[in-house]
Structure 1
Amino acid sequence: MPARLGSPTRSVTCSPQDDLFADLANLSHLFLHGNRLRALSEGVFRGLPSLDRLLLHANRLATVHRRAFHGLARLTILYLFNNSLVALPGDPLAALPALQFLRLNANPWACDCRARPLWAWFRRTRVSSSPVPCASPPHRRGTDLRHLRPRDFDGCPEEDEEEDEGKDEDDSNGVGGGGAVAVVGTPGRALGRPGTLPAAPPSAFYRDGLPPHDLRGPQPRPPPPSRDSRGPPGDTPVAVAPRPAPTLLPLLGLLLPRL
């Protein structure tokens, strides 16, 4: 059940309203690219427990709340490229346990102390990602944020992690409304955890077009056993039907006393 919001002629400005998707529990694809979104507020995607793909590229996103993606436990594909993101404070990607493919390129990433939450997230997860080139400071311009070293953050103040005010109902209950899931393609993949499936080649996912319908494609069937493994045709055992029990001897035993 895919949905597209906005168009080149009628665009969404600022940010989507809270609870805009509250009644779309079976929605699996949400395409919001090519609009004028500037910010993602807390819980903006609340009510989308079955969401599998979220495309937010080619907007004007500059701010993503640390709890913007809470409740999207089945999300596997997230596109945030070609926006105005300098940093992702508070580690909002930690709320996406099933994430498999991520695009963050074409953003003005600041690779100073503000980059540490995103850099730390990449170090503890296994997600196929596009490059994340730094735009600042000048001596790190062009460096991939993922390839920064721990000593690059020496002197950065320790961040005080904000305590969660409580888990969303979607995190604890999963899919509501009877457990119906409307995931297109490979629903089992959306229920897995990062790193549990073999990584696909990046060229298959980091395109400006939509993700393929089936991420892994058709699975090959195992070949039938060869004739050599069964031996030559002449050696194949043939089942022999059992012979019927003879009935002539009992008849002779009844006739002989009368003779």
Structure 2
Amino acid sequence: MSPRIEIDGHPATAAELGHFALGNYGHFTAMQVREGRTRGLDLHLARLDAAQRELFGEGLDPALVRSRIRHALGETRDASVRVTGFWPEGAAEPSLLVSVRPPADTPRSPQSLRTAPYQRPVAHVKHLGGFGQSYYGRVARRAGFDDALLVGPGGVVSEGAITNLGCHDGTSVVWPDAPALNGVTMLLLERDLPGEGVPSRRGPVRVDDLPSYASVFVTNSHGVAAVDRVDDLRLPVDEEFMKTVRRTYESVPWDVI
């Protein structure tokens, strides 16, 4: 499957894509689509609308977003989809870019993370221009890790380069309360895990404390994966708990786009 890119409902032209060669001001959301459906569609739409208002001063019609996604998908049923809001220079209004790429699978093996002294600016917005995340992610992978873990002063964890981090203390899941993006998968688990008897809370999480948790895991649009190593720290993996987390996430209904 070749990647497909549309802007405002038509195939992107070279001139239109030139905007991204000259600037990177904008926001996006990324989702996995299966059979024309995605999990947490309302959260994706709310994210896009909130970011559009913050960056450009006006909201996004959810019906328009869904229409643009459907048009870009065409006959494709399974895909990785990214919706980007941006304002081309000289244009009278913002534009929507929708990219369609092959679907991504959930990692099944435990992940290893390398800490990086970095926190995203304007972390609550899923914005363009993530050089720091990309840089530290590449550094981590070159060193033999799966990805980077972004850490602030005092070893306080905020988020992964492209993930959220959850820590199970044996009773509840602790999500870092440092500046971070509220990921859609994280929000779905935060909502639904209490139904499995696993409440969630926000609190400080420090790197040195990670081995004391019963299980640590990461979440993003690809799904959920355990973490068994951060730098030189070996972390326990509670397989029964991870089964609960995966079962909870996989039970989330797929919304028709």
**Structure index of larger Rg:** 1
State the TM bucket, normalised to the shorter chain.
under 0.3
Structure with greater helix share of residues = 2
The structure with the largest strand share of the pair is 2
TM-score by length of 2: 0.22
Larger RCO: Structure 1 or Structure 2 (Cα < 8 Å, ≥ 6 residues apart)? Answer: 2
